[in-house]
Amino acid sequence: MSRQVSSETERMSEQCGTPAYIAPEILKDKGYEGFKVDVWSAGVCLYAMLIGTVPFKAASMHELHHLIISGKYEIKEEKLSDSALNLISSLLEVDPKKRLSAYEVLSHPWLKDAIDEMDIFT
């Protein structure tokens, strides 16, 4: 599902998304800003790409929601750089006001050597 928003701070209330990727503020059901929840989901994706699994897994939906709302996850991968670990924790920040903006993500030191464009259909 997608939705066009008029500003970065527009608040929404629809609960949607894949359970393991859903941001804590959506689960709290008090309204949320779309850009901030997208950054959270990007953090889950980055974690999954670097670690090989999602950060929040549980036996029940109730337990999964508790883990997400509390922001409790583990990183057992010792091969990640401090910069990668910092980016993950900055994306998976439970407080959306403290979570990085999209611009801050793109300016993060871990991405400093990233190429600007990539042709994936070669």
Asked if the structure places residue 119 within a domain, the reply is: no
> Is there a domain that residue 4 lies in?
no
In a domain, 46, yes or no: yes
Arithmetic mean of pLDDT, 106-118: 82
Q: What is the pLDDT of residue 67?
A: 96
pLDDT of 1 above 50: no
| In-domain check, residue 22 | yes
CB-based contacts of 10: which residues, under 8 Å, 6+ apart? 33, 34
- The model carries a pTM of 0.80
Q: What pLDDT, in 10s, does the model give residues 42-87?
A: 999 999 999 999 999 999 999 999 999 999 999 876 788 999 999 9
64 in any annotated domain:
yes
pLDDT at 22 over 70: yes
Answer whether residue 15 shows pLDDT above 60: no
**SS3 assignment for 23-75:** CHHHHCCCCEEHHHHHHHHHHHHHHHHHHCCCCCCCCCHHHHHHHHHHCCCCC
> Does 16 score more than 80 pLDDT?
no
- CATH code at position 87: 1.10.510.10
Asked if residue 122 is part of any domain, the answer here is no
Domain that holds residue 38: 11-110
On whether residue 61 sits in a domain, the answer given is: yes
Query: In total, how many domains does the chain have?
Result: 1
- Other C-beta atoms closer than 10 Å to the C-beta of 102 total 13
* Residues 23-48 pLDDT 10s: 899 888 887 777 888 899 999 999 99
